[in-house]
A and B are shown apart, each in its own frame.
Chain A
Amino acid sequence: MILVWIIALLLIGGLLSWFAAQWNKHLAKWIALGCTVAGLILVSWLCMHYKDAAPAGSTWFIDYKTNWIPAFGIGFHLALDGLSLVLLLLTFFLGTLAVLCSWTEIKEKQGFYFFNLLWTLAGICGVFVAMDLFLFYFFWEVMLVPMYFLISIWGDTNRRYASYKFFIFTQAGGLLMLLSILALYFIHAQQTGIYSFDYFDLLHTAPEAATAKWIMMGFLIAFIIKLPVVPFHNWLPDAHSEAPTAGSLILAGLLLKTGAYGIIRFVITLFPQQAQEIAWWAMLFAAIGIIYGAFLAFAQTDLKRLIAYTSVSHMGFVLLGVFAFNEIAMQGVVLQIITHGISTGALFVMAGALKERLHTRDINQMGGLWAAMPTMGGVALVFTMASLGLPVLGNFIAEFLVLIGAFSANATLTVIATLGLIFSAFYALRMMQKVFFGPAKPVSPIKDMSAREMLMMAALTISIIVLGLFPQPVMDVVRGVVQNLVAMKK
């Protein structure tokens, strides 16, 4: 039941802040903040509670099921395991920061803005816990539409183009996924006579090999568009660079992760056999994505676009690790999902803060900012280093585990992927140098970080360092899930 409350909290909070803004526009952000913080506390409590209390024989902590549309076999089925739990925690952590970084940036239609923000978060939470495929699809759409509004209303100059592109790409993938869900639904009904969208029912469906492959591709394409994998990544740079700061934060930190989650939860569990057959191709595309994203990131002059392309590169590690099919790589994937959310989120927050001060995203217009804002420079350095995989920071553990795990699965492709570490240094240091080093450009005096920004950055910095030094608790929480996933390889 608590899962329902968590999602309801966001949905109701969203509506409340929309209405509240009619009388007092400042109320909206306080309500939004209250909701996300409350959610964060709830999920943290869940973490504490289930940290070392995995129920015997099962990896599921919570399983809540009630009828929704019984005629079609649609249930309201939410469940929580270690993977969902850490993703929920990430969602509320970044959600809270998203509210905070909109604090002064959003000046118009605040009510509707926070409504959209909270509803996107609700959709994301739903995606992470829905165990009914129809419900999953429902949440998948719930996170998409408000995000579309966030980009198209509060975005930057080219926002219409970016929001259409985002919508069309995601929707095209979503459509394929819907077809696959329906196919699976009917095949299941044919085989057993029971119409059900329930994840656990469908797990035991065994379509013919050829059919299964096509159904899997439907899911896979939806998820790799979201992840994204080259060549389906083109919605991402536009959406990330045009979205308001909170939008970029949620896109990079959370929405991409729903793609990763989908692959783990659906593609390789529903179709273990078929997934292994395409493993080589998936790893190839992963390696290509890592290098290609890094090359493009290096070329960009728009700060947010640059960071966006680094996401393309980093998400390649997720794909690589998932299809390596071993425990080490899979643990790396989970950590990569979390640490990339934090580090890239932080970079976007920083880019947003710079934009608020300098009114530009062009790194050629920046330079020598360290002198004026050493604190932000220091924080930027931390996350630049996280981006290029410096040990001590969480991203290193993630990438290290992915690569060392993937190496035993496919050495050649892993070596190509590892070259990404070199190219990541190229773009990361170029960014650092263009923005913070070099001769100072004559700009009007700019302020270093405010207390609110310091708070956000401190939270992000501490978490990335803690994850880098003490990643074991996270790995313990998801161990059961990961071991089950790997055990599917027969």
Chain B
Amino acid sequence: MHQYLYLIPALPLLGFLILSLAGRHLSRSVIAWVGAGSVCTAALITMGLGIGFLQTPPANGVYTQLLWNWFSVNRLSVSVSLSVDALSLIFIFIITFVGALIHIYSTAFMQNDRDYARFFASMNLFVCSMLILVMADNLVLLYLGWEGVGLCSYLLIGFWYETPANCHAANKAFFITRIGDTAMAVGLFFLFKEIGTLQIPQILIEVPQHFANGANNGTLIAILLLAGGIGKSAQLPLQTWLPDAMAGPSPVSALIHAATMVTAGVYLIARLHVLFEFSPLAMSIIAVIGALTLFMAGCSAMVQTDIKRILAYSTISQIGYMFLALGIGAWSAAIFHFFTHAFFKALLFLAAGAVIESLHHEHNIFKMGGLKNSMRTVFLTFLAGAASLAALPLVTAGFFSKDPILWYAWSAENGNAFLWLLAIAGAFITAFYSTRLMLVVFWGEMKTQITERPGKRMVLPLIILAVIAVAGGFIEWPHNLMHLTLFSEQVQKVLPAVVLKENLPSEFIFQGIAVLVTLGGVYMAYVLYYQEKVTLEKWRQSPAMLSIRNFLLHGWAFDELYDTVFVQPFLFITRINKKDIFDQLYNGIAQLNVTLSRLLSITQNGSLRWYIAGVLIGILFIITMQLL
């Protein structure tokens, strides 16, 4: 089976080539078949590969395939070769499977768009790049995928390019992630200088030998690579692009900005876990960034009014949980949360897209309402997604993936009370905004008329995702409840198991607290947005509450901060130097010559007296010189 490994990224690539070169001459149905078909086929191949992997695992746990030698100079030798182990397989599965569902959904969602072919071309290219990212066996190829997904994200955020705001959002996303990417590139240079290879397996072997525990250079490299991950995964302080990225079509948000690309940072850190494990400082930074991000973004999600922005902040926050888990060494928990999150968040975005389409492109949740009965399927699937996001105990996948993170935040060797508190606060916030979203959109009175209803191709993916969002968690249970760990068994073939502290209190206590806090969040939202709307009205009158709300609404004023500190000075410098200061210098020299020539030509005035005077002065001068 593994000799067909290359087909998995090659099929979407083929789709991209067909659509981008001939897209304008193809009919819509052909475009849909090519666009969605390529990804669906890749998904089928992945399934086959996965089944083979589980039944008869390869000898060393890795399938590899060398395609060609990319370049080699001196000791730097880089090949285009793919490698799939349990970790990449999970990512490939999500990318192709969720990707396929989203593509099917998009064939209907984008039906009336002028640039149908361009949309699918970009989407296919994205899937291809993302697959290369997770299948690369060296960091240069990984970087290729890394930049490729950035490009596709840019193209798809700015898909509706006539609106300047969309282009602005696209540029912003590219610029900010590029800052992280550049740090990552420096990290690669540094790593190569230190270790002399960019092959991932070799790095994992060499790092322990090369860096003594906590060696400075190792830490520096880890932090540089982490910066790349932070940019892509929209973590503090490079998170500001993701909420604006919602300018793209909803399927794009579902695929790129929820399920796959934004978790590239998680993949990178997990992939190079040895490097990070050797640097306690880098690990602590990851954990703290994750914890702060999940809390801050969660707070912002509580007050948003745009349905997609709520989900965007929620994505930032959930990835924060993954980072937190990575930082405390709970590798498997992080990957499992990625796994469930991909399903329920993609589901939420797709369902939100269905709502937005049905309500004539309305994004504001307070102009929606009462859709519970009129859009039954969408409501039920949305409910499944939101419940999973809120991590309702035992009945949702989100619970099974988030609960271990909360537990490890305290109990893992690197965990502590501070991280746990932020995580538990985040759980409360998540439950609150999920419930708020549900109540405002689906209960109450109807405020906007439904103009059209989602068709079969949109509903089917929703149902499939909803089923997984509920049941997907059953493959991995907390140890104290049931001994079923299908997921972490696989992950731990690649990543180490979490190390716990000694003398811990019972896990049940922590689970109990988490459950209570979650239900508390749900209840509070129920009270504020359903039972006693008066309280909320009262808060809206208070200036203090209002300014806090605005502060959170604008994402903790990060945009304003960056605008003043970086953007404006840069624009100022480039503006004042538009004419190039050196040019003034050279023009000055030219001007000086012209002036001198004018001055000298004054002496050539045709008047004989002047010339005689000149000659005489000259003679006098020479004689004087002779005498001296």
A residues near B (Cβ < 8 Å) are: 165, 230-231, 233-234, 237, 295-296, 298-300, 326-328, 331, 368, 370-371, 374, 378, 381, 385, 390-392, 396-397, 400-401, 403-404, 407-408, 411, 414-415, 418-419, 421-422, 425-426, 429-430, 433, 436-440, 469-472, 475
CB-based nearest A residue for B155:
A381
Cα distance A381–B171 in the bound complex, in angstroms: 14
CA gap between A227 and B69 in the complex, in Å: 32
| Residues on the A chain within 8 Å of B491, using CB | none
B175 CB within 8 Å of chain A:
yes
Cβ contacts under 8 Å, B147 to chain A: 390-391, 396
CA A419 to CA B570, docked complex, whole Å: 14
8 of the cross-chain contacts (CB-CB < 8 Å) are A233-B582, A368-B162, A391-B144, A396-B144, A404-B76, A407-B193, A436-B161, A438-B164
Give B213 Cβ to nearest chain A Cβ, in Å. Answer: 23
For residue B180, which residue of chain A has the nearest CB? A422
**B596 on the A face (CB < 8 A):** no
Known: A404-B76, A422-B179, A438-B164. A397 touches B574 (CB 8 A): no
B586 near A328: Cβ-Cβ < 8 Å: no
Q: Which of B144, B163, B192 contacts A404 (CB 8 A)?
A: B192
A429 touches B140 (CB 8 A): no
Q: A418-B186, A422-B179, A433-B167 are in contact. Are A326 and B582 (CB under 8 A)?
A: no
Candidate in B73, B164, B192, B583 with the most chain A CB atoms within 10 angstroms? B73
11 extra interchain contacts, Cβ-Cβ under 8 A, other than A421-B181, A436-B161, A438-B167? Answer: A237-B580, A328-B76, A378-B20, A391-B140, A396-B144, A403-B185, A418-B182, A418-B186, A426-B570, A429-B174, A429-B175
Collect the chain B residues with CB atoms within 8 Å of residue A328's CB: 73-74, 76
Find the residue from B76, B80, B182, B188 having the highest chain A CB count within 10 A: B182
B71 contacts A475, CB within 8 Å?
Answer: yes
Q: Are A392 and B144 within 8 A (Cβ)?
A: yes
Interface string of B151-176 (1 = CB under 8 A from A): 10011001001111001000100110
B6 interfacial by beta-carbon distance below 8 Å: no
Contacts of A385 in B (CB 8 A): 151
Q: Check B161–A438 contact: CB distance below 8 A.
A: yes
Number of interface residues of B (CB under 8 A): 51
Tell whether B271 is near chain A: CB-to-CB under 8 Å: no
Given known contacts A403-B185, A404-B192, A433-B167, is B68 in contact with A470 (CB within 8 Å)? yes
Given the complex, which residues of B lie within 8 Å of A331, measured CB to CB? Answer: 73
A327–B73 touching, CB < 8 Å: yes
In the complex, whether B366 has a CB less than 8 A from a CB of chain A is no
A-contacting residues, B569-583, CB 8 Å: 570, 573-575, 577-578, 580, 582-583
The answer to whether the Cβ of B70 comes within 8 Å of any Cβ in the partner chain is yes
Q: Which B-chain residue is minimally distant from A371 (CB atoms)?
A: B162
* Complex contacts, A426 vs chain B, CB 8 Å: 175, 570
Across the two chains, which residue of chain A brings its CB closest to B175?
A425
Q: Which residues of A contact B443 (CB under 8 A)?
A: none
Residue contact A472 to B574, C-beta cutoff 8 Å: no
A472–B70 CB distance below 8 A: yes
Query: Which residues of chain B in 40-85 are interfacial with respect to chain A, using CB atoms and an 8 Å cutoff?
Result: 68-74, 76, 80
Q: Tell yes or no: B190 within 8 A of A by CB.
A: yes
Cross-chain contact B175 with A391 (CB below 8 angstroms): no
Check if B586 sits within 8 Å of A234, measured CB to CB: yes
Residues of B near A401 (CB, < 8 A) are 71, 73, 76
B interface residues with partner A (beta carbon < 8 Å): 20, 24, 68-74, 76, 80, 118, 140, 143-144, 147-148, 151, 154-155, 158, 161-164, 167, 171, 174-175, 178-179, 181-182, 185-186, 188-190, 192-193, 570, 573-575, 577-578, 580, 582-583, 585-586
A326 vs B162: C-alpha distance when bound (angstroms): 47
**How many whole Å from A484's CB to the nearest CB in chain B?**
14
Q: How far is the CB of A384 from chain B (nearest CB, A)?
A: 10
**B514 CB → nearest A CB, Å:** 41
Q: Contacts A433-B171, A437-B161, A438-B167 given: A400-B151 contact, CB under 8 Å?
A: no
A165 neighbours in B (Cβ, 8 Å): 586
A299: chain B residues at CB < 8 Å are 574-575, 577-578
Contact A296 B148 (CB under 8 A): no
In the complex the two chains form, is B161's CB within 8 Å of A370's CB? yes
Within the complex, the shortest CB–CB distance from A298 to chain B, in Å, comes to: 5
A374 → B minimal CB distance (Å):
7
A404 touches B188 (CB 8 A): yes
Bound: A370/B171 CA distance, A:
16
> Given A415-B186, A437-B158, are A425 and B74 also a contact pair (CB < 8 Å)?
no
Q: How far is the CA of A414 from the CA of B186 in the complex (A)?
A: 9
Instruction: Please give, as numbers and ranges, the residues of chain A lying within 8 Å of B189 by CB-CB distance.
Output: 403-404, 407, 411, 414, 418
Question: B185 contacts which of A231, A370, A421 (Cβ < 8 Å)?
Answer: A421
B193 CB contacts on chain A under 8 angstroms: 407-408, 411
Contact A234–B73 (Cβ < 8 Å): no
CA distance A326 to B74 in the complex (A): 9
Q: Which residue of A lies closest to B196 (CB)?
A: A408
Q: Are A437 and B143 in contact (CB under 8 A)?
A: no
Is the CB–CB distance between A429 and B171 below 8 Å? yes
A391-B147, A438-B161, A475-B73 as given contacts; A234 in contact with B580, CB under 8 Å:
yes
Contact yes or no, A392 B148, CB < 8 A: yes
Q: Please, which residues of chain A bring their CB within 8 A of the CB of B185?
A: 400, 403, 418, 421
CA distance A403 to B140 in the complex (A): 13
How far apart sit A433 and B181, CA to CA, in the bound complex (Å)?
A: 21
Complex formed: what's the CA distance from A228 to B531 in Å?
71
A470 to B70, CA, bound (A): 6
Shortest CB–CB separation between residue A386 and chain B, in angstroms?
12
Question: Which single residue of chain B is at the shortest CB-CB distance from A300?
Answer: B578
B residues less than 8 Å from A391 (CB atoms): 140, 143-144, 147-148
Instruction: Let me know if B161 and A422 touch, CB within 8 A.
Output: no
B175 touches A296 (CB 8 A): no
Nearest 4 interchain pairs by C-beta: A391-B144, A407-B189, A437-B161, A299-B574
Q: How far, in Å, is A221 (CB) from chain B's closest CB? A: 15
Q: Which residues of A contact B161 (CB under 8 A)?
A: 368, 370, 436-438
Contact of B574 among A295, A371, A396, A471 (CB under 8 A): A295
Residues in B with CB closer than 8 Å to A471 are 70-71
Among A295, A370, A404, A440, find the residue whose CB has the most chain B CB atoms closer than 10 A.
Answer: A404
- Cβ-defined contact, A472 with B69, below 8 A: yes
Residues of A within 8 A of B167 (CB): 433, 437-438
Which A residues touch B580, using CB under 8 A?
234, 237, 296
A472 nearest CB neighbor, chain B only: B71
Q: Which residues of chain A have C-beta atoms less than 8 A from B182's C-beta?
A: 418-419, 421-422
C-alpha spacing A470/B573, complex, angstroms? 40
Report the separation of the CA atoms of residues A33 and B504 in the bound assembly, to the nearest whole angstrom. Answer: 82
- Cα(A300)–Cα(B147), bound, Å: 26
**Does A438 lie within 8 Å of B162, measured CB to CB?**
yes
A425 touches B144 (CB 8 A): no
Give the CA-CA distance A390 to B144 in the complex, in Å. 8
Residue from B72, B158, B583 within 8 A of A234 (CB atoms):
B583
Min CB distance A125 to B, Å, is 27
Q: What residue in chain A is nearest B161 (Cβ atoms)?
A: A437
Q: In the complex, A230→B581 CA distance in Å? A: 11
B71 and A407 form a contact (CB under 8 A): no
Shortest beta-carbon distance from A326 to chain B in Å: 7
A230→B162 contact, CB < 8 A = no
A368 to B158, CA, bound (A): 12
Closest Cβ of chain A: how far from B375's Cβ, in Å?
A: 34
Contact B573 A295 (CB under 8 A): yes
If A299-B574, A429-B175 touch, whether A469 touches B70 (CB-CB below 8 Å) is yes
| CA of A298 to CA of B578, assembled, Å | 9
State the Cβ distance, A431 to closest chain B Cβ, in Å: 11
Q: How far is the CB of A432 from chain B (nearest CB, A)?
A: 9
Partner of A407, one of B162, B163, B190, B570: B190
A421: B residues at CB distance < 8 A: 178, 181-182, 185
* Pair A439/B164 contact, Cβ less than 8 Å: yes
- Give the shortest distance, in Å, between B267 (CB) and chain A (any CB): 17
Please give me the residue from chain B that is nearest to A231 by CB atom.
B582
Cα-based distance from A189 to B188 in the complex (angstroms):
50
